[in-house]
Each structure stands twice: as structure tokens, then as C-alpha cells.
Structure 1
Amino acid sequence: MLAVAVPIALHFWHQQQAKPMPWAMLRWLETPNQPPKRGFRFDNLWLLLLRCLLLMVLALLLARPELPQADTAKKGALHLVEPNRQVVDAFKFELEQARQRGEQLVWATDTPTPVDELGTLPTTGQPADALNPLTVQAAVAQVGSPQNRLHLYLRNTTSWTDAPPINVPPGFVLHALPVRAAAATSDRVVALAGGRFLGTDRNGRLTTLTQKTPGQRVVATAPLPVLVQFRQPDERRTVRAALAALTSAYGLTFLIDEQTVANKTYRWVLTEQPVRQPNPATAYLTTAPLTQANDPAVTYLTRPLTTANPLVANGQLPEQLGNALARSLGLAAAPAPLSQRAFSSLFVPTPTLSTKATMAASLAAHPRNPLQTGLLVLFLSLLLVERWWALRRGI
């Protein structure tokens, strides 16, 4: 609104630009008794006021003022909580404050249930570490909506190391509790050519060993029979290149088939098809949607292995495949949890695909504002009047 001083300053500045023009006969037209005009004069006062009002309305329009609304019209919040004592104790203050505000609290289970008492965890019949990406995705899909801001309370455990992206509604808030895993080494290795072995270090990363300890046992021998089933040629080439990178880095060789051979057992299957009935002796990696819960033999990458996939574009696919194979073969006993940044990046805000839901989400994020609409109409009206008046007066 301080810009209102600009047209006033311009008004007076134009007055000072007038220069006297000497004219021989001008002295005969002057009235000796007429007092000289001194100081600033307000010429075209109404036009000046109109322009000042125009700037003031524009300032109010850009400020987006709102009329007071009832609490029921405000966007609420929904808190989805992992049923774990560590999570409840770590975020007890936030959850109690949400309860006092009258916001919804829901347990993140296969069938989300309201939180009746924070001190009593729901009985799911599953172990404490049974929460998996499929359960979280299903719970978010059931309770998440554009009208409510979703808050997720989860532990950052090793179960999320190779988890696929989780689709969440826009505007969600993640409350992550980091859980450190005890360092451990695996007693399983893969026999390589030349008397070497493939295992993992104490951080769960693949490494080549010159010899195995007496307590380690061989679970597979290279070359590993691998089945690569992708319809798109570029995906097949991408997977083959990633396997070649593993061979170059660790000496792990593969026997690759692109068509299923009868009566042949594959140690590793990379496919785009859902894994309905996994073979216990085979490790699987699929780009199909999640279908099997709590199956460590199946790794899900829910995005096609094209250049649009960040894993392919950033050159991280070989590392991802190596980690998936190590986990499936039991080479990594305790993989390191993700960093907080990597854990947060798993949750991808995805807008709703349906037109009706998209309009509802847009309206929830930017509700109708009658005051804003009125100011816009007033601004356009004043602008038209100002232009008409200025053209009429030739200013």
C-alpha cells in the first residue's frame, strides 16, 4: 500500500516540469493585482484519488484476505500410526496434542482401526516387525484423502531398505523414528570362480572374499542361472547391462535365459509379471505391483526399468540388484537402515487420477474465497473507470 504515494509524487512532479516561456505580449495580459499561485496544486483530484484507490485494492487482492470461517470448513488432519511401542513413546506428545485438537488417530494395520487408547496396542496376530510396505500402502489408500492432511508415524527399520515407492496424498507429513540395527555378518556366501567367494561386510554391503571362515557355508555356486523376462527390448538391455556390471565388480557370473526352459530351476528371476507362487529355491525381482506380503524372496521395483526410472538414470540399478540378490540369498544378515533423507524419499505425493477427486483436492487446497472474488471484481471495475476517465481528459 506504500505504492499509493507513487501517483501522488508523479502528480506533483509533473507540475514542477512546467517552464516559463517568455512572450513579448504576455505582460499586457497579466493582471497586476492577481496574487501569484504558490505551492502544490491538486489538478484532476478525482482521477488522482481513483488511481490511489486502484493501487490499494490491488494490494488487498495480492494479500489474499479471507473471511472468518467455521472450524468445520478448515482442512483437518489424520494421523496414521504404526502399532509399535517405540513409535507411540517417541511421538506421544504429538499424538496427545492431536487428540486434544479433535483430530483422527488410526492404527496402520491391514484393516486400519481408530486409536482408542495410546497405551493399548492393537492385537494383530503378527510379530512386532511385521509391518511392511504393502500394509502401509493399503492403509494409506484406505484412510488418506485430499480433504485431510495425512501424518505418518513409522520406524525407519531395515525392512524399508529395498522397499518400493509408497504413494501418499499431497501435503502429507512423515514422522520417522530411526532404529539402528546391530552390526552382524552373515554365515552364507556364494562360491565364485578361482576359489573366491561373494559375501557381505558388517555394513551389509557386497564384498569379494579370498577365503571363507569355517562357520560360513556356500548357498550357491556361480554362474547363477538367471531368467530375464521383459517384453520391452530396452528393459532387457538395461537388466543385462546391470548384471554385467555385477560381474565386473564382484566376479559374479550368470547364465541368462530370456525364455523359460522346461525342467530348469533358476536361482534368480527378473520379470515384469506378478509373482503368484514363488519357488522357495528361487529369488525374484519384479516391476509388477505388490502382491505378496512378508515374502523375503520377492523384491519389488514398481517402476519400469527404463531411462525414466531414477535407478536407471542415476546408474544405481546394479547396486539395487546386488542388494536384492544378497537379501534373497541370505548373504546380508542385517542390512543398514536407510538414511532419514532416503527414507523420506520413498513416500511420493501422487495426485488423485479421477477428475472428481482432483477437483476436490484443488478445492481443499484453495477453497473459494468470496472476499477475494469481490476484490477482483472491484479492481477490474476501477481499472476500467480509470482508463475511461483518463482517455476522456486526455491524460
Structure 2
Amino acid sequence: MEFLQPVLLWGIGAVSIPIVIHFWHQKKGRTLAWAATRWLQEKDQPPQRGVKLEDLLLLVIRCLLHVLLAVLLSQPVVNWFAKPSVVPKVHLVQPEKRVIDNFRFELEEAIKKSEAIYWINASTALAKTPNELPEEQVFNSTQLQSSINKLAADRSELQLYLMNNQQLADLPFIRIPASYKLHTFIDSVNKPKKNYLKLTSGQNVFINPTNQLVNRPVLEPINQFQTTPAHVGAITVLVNYQNKTEEKTVLAAIQALSEVYSLNLSVDTQTNSTRNYDWILTDQEVNKPLATTLYIVSGKLKIPTTSNVIYTEERLSPKTAEMVGSGQLPEWLGAMLIWHFKLNLEVLPLSQDELKALFVTVPLSDRKQPESFRTWMLLAFIGLVGMERWVALTKNT
């Protein structure tokens, strides 16, 4: 037997209360004057020694009531006759050939045991065989969280197969059931190709081997780039603040960033419904963020639900933000732009401590408890209450 609230078992000590009251009640007898007593002869009786128990049945019932109440409040769980439940394993795999090749043995063993294998994508598709990758192979941490949420409803043990890199940390944390196992590997052979931006002037913006953002007409042959740029054309920016002082500060930082790196930025200060913005800087709440837009919201202390919405607690003005007063705002905005378009020179793996901090375990709904045992205990408690009242009234106690 297990107890969900074992600390309440200390309430069993309250069984001493009816015992003390019982003996105290016996000592509080009083003499009643009755006229016929004068005709009775007084008889010497030997004094009684020791403790005389009266109404023993009533005392036992009251003690049982205290014990039963304490056990009920501690929420007992009885699984004497229940068979141990078998927790099924569900395998969640990143749709990447290198992941499949690295964990082929584990996945083949799962297939032999008829365990379910799912791809981590928008549809969380069931994998018939790991050798055939799905058509939808786009992977990010948001899709990982969505796939976990879809499968966490079943009481199963999740087995995650992922490539360990900073792409996992796009979200501040990933909620996962308490029963899970993480399988990750670091690809030190095949380095990912870098992203770059192609502006309207024909210039290419990328990170060079010295980890600097540069603007060149031709991509450097020493680097391996993606076949298509991450963005083509001018970067459309919306700077819309209710605080006009903050708006002027941000506009100045955007202009400095554009001049230093020769970026082709098209900036609006009023929303144009005909344009799709790549970058929005504002102090107003974002209700329905677009997945392809980078949002920087100042003056809001919130935990982001999507990776492309960045909240800054401080307002971006010289009096409220230290990085504005020190002149670091353009540099910080440039870092946000690099991060959004994934222009980083190298995708570094996460450490074990970072992985543990990233995956936050949350309990599922409480396991099903055998309520029949508690029901019988409750009925017994009600029956004892009725019996105690009947015995007490019968004996006029």
C-alpha cells in the first residue's frame, strides 16, 4: 500500500483524544439527591482500585473513526491484485539521414518489437520504415515541441533521436513527459552549409571564416554555402513604437547597422498592409506572429512561446537600457538579424548541462488510482459514524 499524502498519517496520533475524553468523562460523576436514599442502609464497600473501563465498545468505535479518517486523508493506493502496467515505448525521430544511420540498430530493434516510430515534422507522421525519409523534412524546435505534445497524451515512454546542435535551443525550453530518454549525437564530419543573404544590389551578406559579417559581390569559395540564399531582396523593416523617443533611438540604430554593413534595409514607421515585413520592432503586444518574421518587443517581461519573438524587459532608450547608453544597440540588433537568418559561422553542439536545462520534465495527469478501495473505506467510515451515534444515544452517553 502506498500513500499519496503520507504526512497526514500523523493524524493517527489523534486517537489519544477520545481515550483521554473517555476517562475524563468517567471521573466527572456527580451526586444526585433522591428522597428514598434516606431509607437505604449504608454499606461499607471495599474501594475499587485501578482504572475501570466503561462503554468499551463506544471507545473502540471512536478510536477507529480517528484512524480511518487519517488513512482516508492520506489517500491510500492499493495495487495488491493489479498487474504491473507495461509502459509502451514511442520513438520520435528527427527526419535526417545522419540521425537514421547513427541510431539504425536502436530503430531496427524497435521495429522488431512492433514499437511505434514517428517523424518529427509538422504532421508527426508514422514511419513505416526508417529507410524511407518523409517528404516533409523541415525540422526545428517548435515542431519538436508540437510532436511531443501530440504523443504525450498516451502514457508511454518517449525515445527521442536528435542531432545535437544549437538549433534545439531555438525555444527557451522544451516541455516533455517525465518518462523519456534522449538519444543525441554530434556530427563532427559533415558540417552544415552556411546561409547567406542576397540583396537587391547583387551583394551577398554572410559570415566569413573570422566570424565577421561581411558584404561581398561574390561568395568566398573557401566556405560551403547553401544552394539558395536564406533571403533575397531588400530586408523590409517596420519600426512602430508608441513611445516616439524609443522609436527615434531604434531608427538611429537601424540606420547605423545599415551603413556599417551596407545592408539594404527598407524601413517603415507605419504599417503597410501590402507589405510582408521581415523584421518588426515595436513596444506593442504581438497577437499572431508570423513564422518568417523576426519580432523585437521592448518593455515586456514575458517568456516567448515562439523563437522568432524576442522580448526585452527594458525599453530601448538611453535612460532605460544600458546597451543603448553604451552604444551597443546596433551591434545587438545585428546579432539578432544574424540569428534569425541562421548566418552563424558554426553550429555548435549543446553540452549535457545545456540539454538537461533545455528539456523540462512536466508530469502528466495523475495516474489512475483504484478508487474502489477508497470508496469502501469511506462507506466504512460513514457506517462507524452511524454506529457511534447509535451506541452513544442508546447508553445516553
> Shorter-chain TM-score: which interval?
0.5 to 0.7
**Counterpart mapping for 1:366-385 below 5 A:** 366-367=368-369, 369-385=371-387
User: Aligned residue for 2:280?
Assistant: 270
> Are 1:54 and 2:65 counterparts?
yes
Distance in structure 2 (CA, Å) of the matches to 1:271 and 1:245: 8
| Amino acid in the other structure paired with 1:6 | S
> Are 1:227 and 2:237 counterparts?
yes
Distance in structure 2 (CA, Å) of the matches to 1:391 and 1:241: 80
Which residue of 75, 78, 103 maps to 1:66? 78
Task: Say if 1:270 and 1:286, in contact at 8 Å, map to a contact too.
Answer: no
CA RMSD of aligned residues (A): 6.1
Distance in structure 2 (CA, Å) of the matches to 1:245 and 1:251: 10
**Counterpart mapping for 1:239-278 below 5 A:** 252=257, 255-260=267-272, 268-270=278-280
Residues 95-115 of structure 1: CA deviation (Å, up to 9, x unaligned): 97x999x78342434454368
Task: Say if 1:109 and 1:136, in contact at 8 Å, map to a contact too.
Answer: yes
Task: Say if 2:158 and 2:181, in contact at 8 Å, map to a contact too.
Answer: yes
Distance in structure 2 (CA, Å) of the matches to 1:138 and 1:383: 52
Distance in structure 2 (CA, Å) of the matches to 1:132 and 1:10: 68
Task: Using the aligned pairs only, state the percent identity.
Answer: 16
**Counterpart mapping for 1:1-395 below 5 A:** 3=13, 5-7=15-17, 9-11=19-21, 14=24, 31-32=43-44, 34-61=45-72, 62-68=74-80, 71=83, 74=85, 76-82=87-93, 84=99, 88=103, 104-110=115-121, 112-113=125-126, 121-124=130-133, 131-133=139-141, 135-137=143-145, 139-140=147-148, 144=151, 146-155=153-162, 156-163=164-171, 173=180, 175=182, 177=184, 179=186, 226-228=236-238, 252=257, 255-260=267-272, 268-270=278-280, 288=289, 298=292, 307=300, 309-311=302-304, 315=313, 323-329=335-341, 331-337=343-349, 339-345=354-360, 365-367=367-369, 369-387=371-389, 389-390=391-392
Distance in structure 2 (CA, Å) of the matches to 1:310 and 1:241: 22
Distance verdict in 2 for CA 1:95–1:329, change over 3 Å: closer
Q: SS at 2:117's partner residue? A: strand
Distance in structure 2 (CA, Å) of the matches to 1:248 and 1:54: 74
Shift of 1:259: 2.7
Distance in structure 2 (CA, Å) of the matches to 1:237 and 1:314: 16
Q: TM-score, normalised by structure 2?
A: 0.54
Larger Rg: 2
Which structure has more relative contact order (CA 8 Å, sep 6+)? It is: 1
Distance verdict in 2 for CA 1:271–1:258, change over 3 Å: same
Shift of 1:47: 1.3
Q: TM-score, normalised by structure 1?
A: 0.54
Q: SS at 1:383's partner residue? A: helix
Q: SS at 2:279's partner residue? A: strand
Distance in structure 2 (CA, Å) of the matches to 1:336 and 1:243: 36
Task: Say if 2:175 and 2:362, in contact at 8 Å, map to a contact too.
Answer: yes
Distance verdict in 2 for CA 1:342–1:394, change over 3 Å: same
| Amino acid in the other structure paired with 2:158 | H
Q: SS at 1:81's partner residue? A: strand
| Amino acid in the other structure paired with 1:113 | L
Task: Say if 2:299 and 2:313, in contact at 8 Å, map to a contact too.
Answer: no
Distance in structure 1 (CA, Å) of the matches to 2:81 and 2:252: 64
Distance in structure 1 (CA, Å) of the matches to 2:208 and 2:313: 21
Shift of 1:326: 0.7
Unaligned runs of 5+ in 2: 1-8, 32-36, 198-204, 215-219, 224-228, 259-264, 305-309, 317-328
Q: SS at 2:257's partner residue? A: coil
Unaligned runs of 5+ in 1: 190-196, 210-214, 273-284, 291-297, 350-360
User: Aligned residue for 1:276?
Assistant: none
Distance in structure 1 (CA, Å) of the matches to 2:161 and 2:77: 37
Q: SS at 1:258's partner residue? A: coil
Q: SS at 1:371's partner residue? A: helix
Task: Say if 1:158 and 1:334, in contact at 8 Å, map to a contact too.
Answer: no
Distance in structure 2 (CA, Å) of the matches to 1:348 and 1:65: 22
